[in-house]
Amino acid sequence: MQIVKAALVAAIGIAALVVSLLPGSAEEKGSLALTISVDGAIGPASASYVKEALAKASERRAEIVILRLNTPGGLNSSMREIIADVLASPVPVVGYVAPSGAHAASAGTYILYATHIAAMAPGTNIGAATPVQIGGPIPGLPTGTPDKEAKDKKEGDRPAEPKDVMSAKATNDAVALIRSLAELRNRNADWAEKAVREAATLSANAALQASVIEFIARDPAELLKQVDGRVVEVAGGKTQRLVTKDGVVEAIDPGWTSRFLAVITDPNVAFVLLMVGIYGLIFEFMSPGAVAPGVVGTICLLLGLYALNLLPINYAGLAMMVVGIALLTIEAFNPTVVIGLGGIVAFVLGAVMLFRVEAPGYRLSWSVIGIVAALFSGFILVVLGSIRRARSGPPKVGAQAMRGLAAEVLDWNENEGHVFAHGERWQARGVETFRPGEMVEVSNIVDLTLVVRRMPVATSEGGSS
């Protein structure tokens, strides 16, 4: 019995040792660190990518999510979506501005403030979080010469206040947002307000000294060692002590939805899709039965409208583009030059006014506007003009094209026979009698039978026949 007990204890010990050495143990699973990389402008694609990645991190019970940022800013709506997802995440999110040379400007600053832990790589910077508006100065930023800027800063060197009400509202709303995030994460709220009102920026070392971030790390491995043991508060008020020292870093790539959105929400791509859709539908309406232009045009138009729905657009600009298209169409059917020039001007102005933001990465290229306007004007004036001229000219085929043609009589018996017309042998009939070889004129066609008559006698210049 003692031998059996000893063997049983030994077997249990060996099994425990094997289980502890197997990959995928509970401890290793708990130290999984998933990485989300946001490069470029913040937009609908970025928001979709972050949402999907955080959901996947929650499903896989990751220890932390490293949100790597390198962005010049982007759309306010997409930024707020990302912030809401980070705040609601049950998995701690570590904001990390990397690699060296990267920056988290504008929208990136707000997102970094929203993360549970903020870190930067050496040689990076953060700030310049002032809301950007179209058609006016940047709110909170002094304008003009240095002397004028000095005069504008009074009463303790306070930043100049925005001149218009809308700029003031946007700036104050942005200040309230970033201060609330700073207070939530116990970071420097005063500098955060300065970044919004004065577009202030900080280097990585300065940000660490100003309590804007918690760590400076050269790479994700060093970052995991630094955050190990830190206690953070996640969604629902729960506290969690991070165990990341020996964590495994795994990257989460964007899904097909995010990649698709990244393509079509580019303002230039959305603009081109919209124009291709309009081209296709116009061509289909002018030449019914072509099918392909209508199908391609419908798909492109729907994709373009879907992209515009995700972007902040100016409906006055869209209406101006429609007016320009209508004027160019009228010019194709009723040439006046003035209407055509007005259509081109309206179209270009509408394209310039189409997007309401000047966020980095969401500006419509002037070269794209020029190329599309030139192609569209040429299409309207040349193609539709050719179709108009073809329709207004004499018929080329069918019964109408046969009327008035000359035909040679091949054989004839009483009031019917055969004639040679249009390079073909036709059955014919008439009220007169004709001789073979005589030239007659086609007056009508009934059920593939030509109705012919004698050729009219040409009148002389003197008026006699």
Residue of 451, 454, 420 lying closest to 434 (CA atoms): 454
The model's pLDDT over 234-289, given as tens digits with 9 standing for 90+, comes to: 887 888 999 988 889 999 988 888 888 888 888 888 888 888 888 788 777 767 77
Residue 114, pLDDT above cutoff 70: yes
Residue 213, pLDDT above cutoff 70: yes
User: Which of 210-219, 328-337, 372-381, 388-397 is the least confident region?
Assistant: 388-397
> What tokens appear for 122 in the block?
């050496």
Residue 34, pLDDT above cutoff 50: yes
Residue 86, pLDDT above cutoff 80: yes
pLDDT bin (cut points 50, 70, 90) of residue 181 is: very high
pLDDT bin (cut points 50, 70, 90) of residue 186 is: very high
Question: Is the model more confident about 339 or about 191?
Answer: 191
Q: Is there a contact between 121 and 217 (Cβ–Cβ < 8 Å)?
A: yes
Q: Residue with structure tokens 């391609």?
A: 296
Residue 142, pLDDT above cutoff 50: no
Q: Where are the alpha helices (DSSP H) in 245-361?
A: 256-264, 267-286, 292-310, 315-333, 338-353
Q: What is the pLDDT of residue 461?
A: 44
The model's pLDDT over 367-419, given as tens digits with 9 standing for 90+, comes to: 888 887 787 777 766 766 665 555 555 555 556 667 778 888 888 887 888 88
Q: Is there a contact between 257 and 52 (Cβ–Cβ < 8 Å)?
A: yes
The most confident of the ranges 135-149, 169-183, 442-456 is: 169-183
Q: Residue with structure tokens 């920056």?
A: 103
Residue 221, pLDDT above cutoff 50: yes
Share of the chain above pLDDT 90, in %: 31
Q: What is the pLDDT of residue 203?
A: 95
Residue 65, pLDDT above cutoff 90: yes
The model's pLDDT over 71-80, given as tens digits with 9 standing for 90+, comes to: 998 888 899 9
User: Which of 155-159, 238-242, 292-296 is the least confident region?
Assistant: 155-159
User: Which of 42-51, 60-69, 143-152 is the least confident region?
Assistant: 143-152
Interstrand relation of 93-97 and 64-70 (parallel, antiparallel or unpaired): parallel
Interstrand relation of 239-241 and 231-233 (parallel, antiparallel or unpaired): antiparallel
DSSP 40-89: S-BSHHHHHHHHHHHHHHHHTT-SEEEEEEEB--B-HHHHHHHHHHHHT-
The model carries a pTM of 0.67
The model's pLDDT over 298-319, given as tens digits with 9 standing for 90+, comes to: 898 899 888 888 888 888 888 8
Give the chain's mean pLDDT.
79
User: CA 202, 206, 209, 215 torsion: positive or negative?
Assistant: positive
CA end-to-end span of the chain: 142
Rounded (5°) CA angle 187-190-194:
120
pLDDT bin (cut points 50, 70, 90) of residue 421 is: confident
Residue 323, pLDDT above cutoff 80: yes
User: Which of 112-121, 376-385, 429-438 is the least confident region?
Assistant: 376-385
User: CA 415, 417, 418, 419 torsion: positive or negative?
Assistant: negative
Residues in the chain: 465
> What tokens appear for 317 in the block?
């600009």
d(CA 433, CA 438): 10
Q: Residue with structure tokens 């392909």?
A: 292
